[in-house]
Structure 1
Amino acid sequence: MRLADITQYGGITVMLPAAVVIGAWLWFSRSRQSALLWGALLLFVYAIVGASKILFKGWGIGLESLNIAVISGHATNTSLVLPVAMSLLARQINPRLRWPGAGLGLLIAWWFSINCVAPYIHPLQEAIAGALLGSVAACGFLYYLENTEIKKIPHAVLVIGLVLIALNTTTKKYTAEHVLNRIAVSISGAETAFKRPEWRAPVDTTKL
């Protein structure tokens, strides 16, 4: 499997169900306030990514000096969900492993962002922006959990959650791009959504 083929697993088809499983995990481990905060954090982070895409798709607004047109949703998804998921899994084994687990999740997420998301979907700068956003949100949430008692859940329930995530890796992959295109065009009044910033030269991916 090529690196370009792995990129699809960072999209909402896989990562959003994984985020829902995390929320359910927190809810049923009697940490409902944490589950609600997790949901709010997801909405906040997704709103930032969505806003960056709508601004560019509708008006062509981006950060030219940083070569960032939009924030990568794939990098954001992976860097937010994976560290939290691996930290919670590590807690099941030994609570002292929660931060090493999160660190491993961050390493995998950053490797994925730099090697899979960039340059196949986004330029490196946009992938890094997404990885930074997701990482900061994940670490902030895990820091909040330091003062929260997370009870272990039955292994059977854990297996069911992991199976649900695994099943989503085998289904057809979807993105929110078409929806965001429609929103951006309807708000801005543009005839079509912007696809490539004027300042950026085309990338020849055949040489990658």
Structure 2
Amino acid sequence: MMWWHWLSVIGSVAVTGPIGIVIMVWLLTGKSWRLSIIWAALYGAGMALVVASKLAFIGWGIGVASLQFAGFSGHAMRAAAVFPVLGFLLTRSLPSWQRHLGPAVGVVLSVLIALSRIYTWSHSPSEAYTGCLLGLAVAFAFIWYASAERDLTFSRMLVMLCLPVLVVAPQFKPVPTERWITKAALYLSGRDQPYTSAIWYGPRSRLR
């Protein structure tokens, strides 16, 4: 269980948020203006879909009961968006076959993080899998655009900025994003109480 919990923490906002910002900073310092805009747009769109799906369920009960889907997993989406891209950037200057290793490791880590959300009873399989697929779509769309760039240069600063995040962030107090989304959903819907998965699975459900 501790293994799954650790993986779940790696997908938290405290870790993936700063890595997403580091990627943006690295692109900007490399004067890759077009890729900076593309990354911001893709990552922002992915996050917007996650938040919108959660708001829809918490505020209005909009979901798919048959699939136990109450919104995309934010952990799974963020992890699948940033780690393959991080791996792509770190291995871009390596020989041809090694360039595929970075994104592949990122994909494997992303899938494990998505599974951790299921094994820690934080999300249903459909929420974790769809969140992961959404994040991978963001990552591969960016990698497709970035692969056409010939003047991208590797910077060791990226590694130096990311490693402290991975080491220190698990010690931080979790960011209360779910609480913020719940407050926003209640405000927008005018409800006093949020919808929960108990409306589908009963009060004994451990899913959130």
- TM-score, structure 1 as length reference: 0.89
Counterpart in 2 of 1:185? 186
Query: CA-atom RMSD, angstroms?
Result: 1.9
Rounded to whole Å, the distance in 1 between the matches of 2:94 and 2:59 is 47
Moved more, 158-167 or 48-57: 158-167
Rounded to whole Å, the distance in 1 between the matches of 2:206 and 2:107 is 29
Question: Is 2:23 the partner of 1:22?
Answer: yes
Moved more, 103-112 or 11-20: 103-112
Deviation (angstroms), 1:97: 3.0
Q: Deviations over 1:141-167 (max 9, x none)?
A: 1011111131122x3x23431244233
Contact 1:84/1:138, CA 8 A, preserved across alignment = yes
Q: Deviations over 1:19-59 (max 9, x none)?
A: 00111111122212111211111111100000000000001
Letter in 2 for 1:71: F
- In structure 1, stretches of 5+ residues that fail to align are none
Rounded to whole Å, the distance in 1 between the matches of 2:98 and 2:33 is 23
Partner SS for 2:176: coil
- C-alpha change, 1:158 and 1:103, in structure 2 (3 Å) is same
Deviation (angstroms), 1:197: 4.5
- TM-score, structure 2 as length reference: 0.89
Deviation (angstroms), 1:98: 3.0
Question: Is 2:177 the partner of 1:162?
Answer: no
Partner SS for 1:198: helix
Contact 1:12/1:175, CA 8 A, preserved across alignment = no
> % of aligned pairs identical?
28
Contact 1:60/1:197, CA 8 A, preserved across alignment = no
Superposed, 1:140-159 pairs within 5 Å as 140-149=141-150, 150-153=152-155, 155=156, 157-159=157-159
Letter in 2 for 1:117: R
Deviation (angstroms), 1:65: 2.7
Rounded to whole Å, the distance in 2 between the matches of 1:113 and 1:195 is 21
Moved more, 69-78 or 32-41: 32-41
- The aligned length equals 202
Rounded to whole Å, the distance in 1 between the matches of 2:192 and 2:63 is 19
Counterpart in 2 of 1:63? 64
Moved more, 68-77 or 35-44: 35-44
- C-alpha change, 1:169 and 1:93, in structure 2 (3 Å) is farther
Counterpart in 2 of 1:200? 201
Contact 1:23/1:38, CA 8 A, preserved across alignment = yes
